[in-house]
């Protein structure tokens, strides 16, 4: 829906919008070394203010939760587990904080991008679908009422997965040559590209050849990931123009997207580590940490619903997870 501003901006509405943006900033993932913000960033403030004036919930669009990494050294299976459960709880908590300020509340729309690039990362579409179905079921079971979902299938329900990807590529992607130029002049794009190259090298289990050949192929796929990721963002902007745009990756202050944490800051020191690239290990104090599956050491496996769910240090209390 498009918000139409029918009431003049009031001091009260502006203060409410600023307080809401401050909530988001408390959970922000910024660029390392960047000074702390002294005021609400304009791109987010404008969208929040419009929804405050309209008296409707704040909508937060978050491209995330694509599918589990195919690398068994990172994850313990293809379905959501304790990491996703904690992340859904964290996002619900952000919305609850906003509802304390703005009675209509807030809602995070998880815009799952798994089908956008499943073929690039070598994950079958059926595996992506199963992950998404279980994630939605987990949100329902945990009572995460302020979280919604959308994916390519919701936007283009009449096509199959390959047709939807082709439609996205055909209508929304930038040519790779243009992205190469952009990556040379835009540090944010270059940083994202470097992260995607590392991701492909670690996750694409089908990469073969010499180290140089693997690096070249990883870079080629990373450009595909970047192009499709930007296309998905552009499509979401067109479909949800009033939503505050969030990102799982650090973003500079004042950018169109606001980088947002998925877990408490103590849960990981790695800006690229997410629940779908890791497992949860509870330490002796019962604090959850995201770690690669290969790094759980002698921690005790915890099962839920008949499958591996997370790990717990053997001296940790039995109340977690």
Domain assignment present for 133: yes
Give pTM, 2 decimals. Answer: 0.91
C-alpha dist (Å) from residue 231 to 117, 121, 160, 167, 307: 11, 17, 18, 11, 35
Would you say 67 and 128 are in contact if contact means Cβ atoms under 8 Å apart?
yes
* Residue 261 shares a structural domain with residue 321: no
C-alpha dist (Å) from residue 30 to 26, 266, 289: 11, 15, 20
Domain assignment present for 260: yes
Q: Which of 242, 249, 186 is nearest to 28 (CA)?
A: 249
Domain assignment present for 244: yes
* Residue 69 shares a structural domain with residue 104: yes
d(CA 309, CA 72): 14
* Residue 52 shares a structural domain with residue 110: yes
* Dihedral of the alpha carbons of 26, 29, 34, 39, in degrees to the nearest 10: -40
d(CA 95, CA 211): 45
Domain assignment present for 299: yes
* Residue 249 shares a structural domain with residue 290: no
pLDDT for 1 equals: 40
Domain assignment present for 57: yes
Domain assignment present for 191: no
User: What's the domain count of the chain?
Assistant: 2
* Residue 150 shares a structural domain with residue 284: no
Q: Can you give the pLDDT of all 321 residues of the chain as single tens digits?
A: 444 455 567 899 999 999 999 999 999 988 888 888 888 899 999 999 999 999 999 999 999 999 999 999 999 999 999 999 999 999 999 999 999 999 999 999 999 999 999 999 999 999 999 999 999 999 999 999 999 999 999 999 988 999 999 999 999 999 999 999 999 999 888 988 998 999 899 888 788 899 999 999 999 999 999 999 999 999 999 999 999 999 998 888 899 999 999 998 766 767 678 999 999 999 998 999 999 999 999 999 999 999 999 999 987 555 556
Residue 78 belongs to domain with CATH number: 3.40.50
Would you say 121 and 204 are in contact if contact means Cβ atoms under 8 Å apart?
yes
Would you say 31 and 252 are in contact if contact means Cβ atoms under 8 Å apart?
yes
* Residue 161 shares a structural domain with residue 282: no
Domain assignment present for 307: yes
* Residue 259 shares a structural domain with residue 129: yes
Domain assignment present for 213: no
Domain extent, residue 118, equals: 11-166+239-266
* Residue 117 shares a structural domain with residue 259: yes
* Residue 293 shares a structural domain with residue 243: no
* Residue 142 shares a structural domain with residue 285: no
* Residue 141 shares a structural domain with residue 65: yes
- Report phi then psi at 243, rounded to 5: -75, 145
* Residue 320 shares a structural domain with residue 245: no
Q: Which of 30, 134, 13, 6 is nearest to 82 (CA)?
A: 134
Q: Who's near 173: CB < 8 A, 6+ residues apart?
A: 227, 228, 230, 231
For Cα atoms 289, 294, 300, give the angle at the middle one, nearest 5 degrees.
Answer: 60
pLDDT for 249 equals: 87
């Amino acid at each position: 829906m498009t918000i139409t501003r029918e009431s003049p901006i009031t001091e009260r509405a502006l203060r409410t919008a600023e307080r809401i943006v401050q909530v988001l900033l408390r959970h922000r993932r910024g660029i390392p070394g960047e000074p702390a913000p002294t005021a609400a960033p304009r791109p987010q403030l404008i969208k929040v203010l419009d929804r405050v004036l309209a008296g409707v919930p704040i909508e937060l669009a978050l491209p995330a939760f694509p599918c589990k990494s195919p690398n068994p050294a990172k994850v313990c299976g293809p379905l959501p587990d304790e990491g996703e459960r904690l992340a859904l709880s964290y996002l619900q908590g952000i919305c609850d904080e906003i509802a304390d300020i703005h009675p209509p509340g807030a809602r995070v729309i998880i815009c799952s991008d798994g089908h956008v690039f499943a073929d690039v990362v070598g994950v079958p579409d059926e595996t992506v679908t199963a992950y998404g179905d279980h994630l939605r079921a987990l949100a329902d079971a945990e009572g995460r009422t302020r979280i919604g979902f959308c994916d390519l299938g919701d936007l283009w329900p009449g096509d199959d997965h390959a047709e939807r990807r082709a439609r996205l590529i055909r209508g929304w992607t930038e040519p790779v040559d243009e992205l190469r130029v952009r990556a040379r002049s835009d540090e944010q794009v270059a940083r994202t590209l470097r992260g995607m190259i590392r991701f492909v090298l670690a996750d694409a289990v089908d990469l073969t050849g010499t180290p140089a050949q693997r690096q070249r192929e990883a870079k080629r796929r990373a450009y595909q990931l970047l192009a499709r990721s930007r296309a998905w963002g552009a499509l979401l902007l067109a479909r949800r123009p009033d939503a505050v745009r969030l990102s799982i990756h650090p973003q500079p202050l004042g950018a169109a997207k606001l980088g947002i944490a998925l877990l408490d800051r103590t849960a990981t020191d790695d800006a690229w580590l997410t629940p779908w690239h890791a497992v949860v290990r509870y330490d002796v104090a019962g604090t959850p940490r995201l770690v690669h599956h290969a790094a759980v050491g002698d921690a005790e496996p915890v099962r839920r619903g008949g499958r591996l769910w997370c790990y717990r240090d053997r001296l940790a209390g039995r109340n977690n997870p």
